[in-house]
Amino acid sequence: MWLTWRAATQRALYGENGFYLRERPSAHFRTSVSAAVGATAGAPVGAAVSATAGTSAVLAGAVLRELAELAGPSGPLDLVDVGAGEGALAVGVLALAPQELRSRLRVTCVDVAPRPPDLPEEIGWEPVVPEGVEGLVIANEWLDNVPLDVVEQTSDGPRLVMVDPSDGAEQLGDTPEEADLAWLDRWWPLGPVGERAEIGRPRDEAWASVIVRLARGRAVAVDYAHRLGARPPYGSLAGYRGGAAVAPVPDGSCDITAHVALDACAAAGEGVGAVTTTLTTQREALRALGVTGARPSLDLAGWDPVGYLRALSRASLEAELIDPHGLGAFGWLRQSRS
Ligand SMILES: C[S@@+](CC[C@H](N)C(=O)[O-])C[C@H]1O[C@@H](n2cnc3c(N)ncnc32)[C@H](O)[C@@H]1O
């Protein structure tokens, strides 16, 4: 059976017994959230997340600062985590929030996967982003899992790549539909015969559907990204299973992911009413939020050795998040409605 990559990935990841409906993401790959997920996921809300609690706690602190910037003097404040996975980021933010902010927070995780059994009751779990969000929407490594089609350049122009889900074999199919050809022209013009592109239109639409649900505040998408003029000439489709990169076979046995054209998502967000846009790297975004990776002074080791070790551990977690050759190279797209 031959399917487009979009249809095959949809079935493999989200169809009956699909990868994301049965697997815990942190068992298969590390994200900025899950790098040390064991240290925070499922921790009782309100329990102090120590400085050594992991990369997710560092990210949670940064997200809390982003959220605090959006808090007016009073009233409810939403935190919506889209593609929340195991909900570790939401748990981490709640744990770190000072009481006055926490009492105003409405925290919602959005995921197509079932609600994790140990998620604290005060965190909502929804299959779609609620209407009228007032606060912060964060989507860490969500858009790269929105299925898309793959095309290959031929002497007759771009043709869809069809895949056999049982073994990943490929053959060329039809010409893409007009809207997809227009997307390729605008966002990923193909070069010589043999070059490939991934049609990001479903991701643009997914992102726009978030922006329209924002009544006030900001939405942030964090992902592996590329920009117009620097797209990977043969695409970026990849598979992950059990912590290792594997061939992207869409049979439900592995994650299927591809880097995100965040610049196209930004334009889609503007098309539905985003009034401010910034597109930067995780390194720059987190440094501006106080994540510097700075090591503690050696003097501290003399009078507080435990504190010194804790600070050193935190510095190394921060450094991992802002590593320009690793997670720090991720794109951060921020858009607001007001
Ligand atoms: C790579 S995981 C990221 C998990 C978490 N945000 C992290 O950074 O560790 C992607 C998540 O997005 C979810 N997802 C994919 N498409 C979705 C959709 N349309 N609506 C809600 N969640 C979705 C998947 O089920 C999965 O849990």
pLDDT at 30: 85
Token readout for 19 is: 């990868």
- Distance of alpha carbon 93 from the chain centroid: 16
Q: Which two tokens stand for residue 315?
A: 């510095």
Residue 35 is predicted with a pLDDT of 64
Ligand 1: lining residues by beta carbon, under 6 Å: 20, 25, 31, 33-34, 83-85, 110-113, 140-142, 145-146
Segment 142-157, tens digit of pLDDT: 999 999 999 999 999 9
Range of weakest confidence among 50-54, 86-90, 114-118, 296-300: 50-54
Atom 11, ligand 1: residue with shortest CA distance: 83
Handedness of CA 147, 179, 273, 224 (dihedral sign): positive
Can you tell me the mean pLDDT for 69-76? Answer: 92
Residues of the chain with pLDDT > 70, as a percent, come to 94
The answer to whether 77 and 97 have CB atoms below 8 angstroms apart is no
pLDDT for the residue numbered 43 = 30
- Mean pLDDT over 64-89 rounds to 95
Which atom of ligand 1 is closest in space to residue 113's alpha carbon?
25
Q: How far is the CA of 207 from the centre of ligand 1 (A)?
A: 13
Instruction: For residue 110, give the amino acid letter.
Output: V
Q: Calculate the alpha carbon distances from 186 to 43, 216, 275 in Å.
A: 46, 30, 21
The pLDDT score that the predictor gives to residue 56 is 77
**Mutate which of 6, 10, 20, 129 for ligand 1 pocket (most atoms within 8 A of beta carbon):** 20
Per-residue pLDDT, 44: 28
Q: What pLDDT is attached to residue 55?
A: 59
| DSSP-assigned letters across all residues of 222-274 | EE-B--TT---TB---EEEETTEEE----SSSSEEE--B-HHHHHHHHHHTT-
Any idea what DSSP says for residue 278? E
Average pLDDT of the residues in 14-35: 89
More confident site: 56 or 274: 274
Q: Residues near 62 by Cβ (< 8 Å), separated by ≥ 6?
A: 285, 286, 289, 290, 291
pLDDT tens-digit series, residues 238-258: 999 998 999 999 999 999 999
What separation, in Å, do the N-terminal and C-terminal C-alpha atoms of the chain show?
Answer: 48
- Give distance in angstroms: CA of 142 to centre of ligand 1: 5
pLDDT: is 53 or 171 the higher one? 171
Among residues 281, 227, 283, 211, the alpha carbon closest in space to that of 259 is found at 227
Kindly state the average pLDDT of the residues 45-59. Answer: 50
Supply the mean pLDDT for the chain. 92
What per-residue confidence (pLDDT) applies to 338?
77
Give the pLDDT of residue 39.
33
Residue 132 has which token pair? 């009228």
Instruction: Give the per-residue pLDDT at 28.
Output: 85
pLDDT of residue 27: 86
Q: What is the pLDDT of residues 196-239, one digit of tens each?
A: 999 999 999 999 999 999 999 999 999 999 999 999 999 999 99
38 has a pLDDT exceeding 80: no
User: Which residues, 6+ apart, have CB-to-CB distance to 325 below 8 Å?
Assistant: none
What is the rounded CA–CA span in Å between residue 288 and residue 86?
27
Q: What is the pTM of this model?
A: 0.93
Residue that is written with structure tokens 């933010």 in the block: 93
Burial 30-60 (b: 16+ CB within 10 A, else e): bbbbbbbbebbbbbebeeebebbbbbbbbbb
Residues linked to residue 221 through DSSP beta bridges, in sequence order:
139, 333
Which one of 26, 32, 142 would you pick to mutate in the ligand 1 pocket, going by the greatest count of ligand atoms within 8 A of its CB?
142
DSSP state of 140: E
Mean pLDDT computed over 67-90: 95
Mean pLDDT calculated for residue range 296-302: 93
Distance, CA 1 to ligand 1 centroid (Å)? 27
Classify residue 34 by its DSSP letter. G
Instruction: Output DSSP code: residue 212.
Output: T
Ligand 1: which atom is nearest the Cα of residue 20?
25
How far, in whole angstroms, is CA 103 from its chain's centroid? 27
Query: What integer is the mean pLDDT of 1-7?
Result: 97
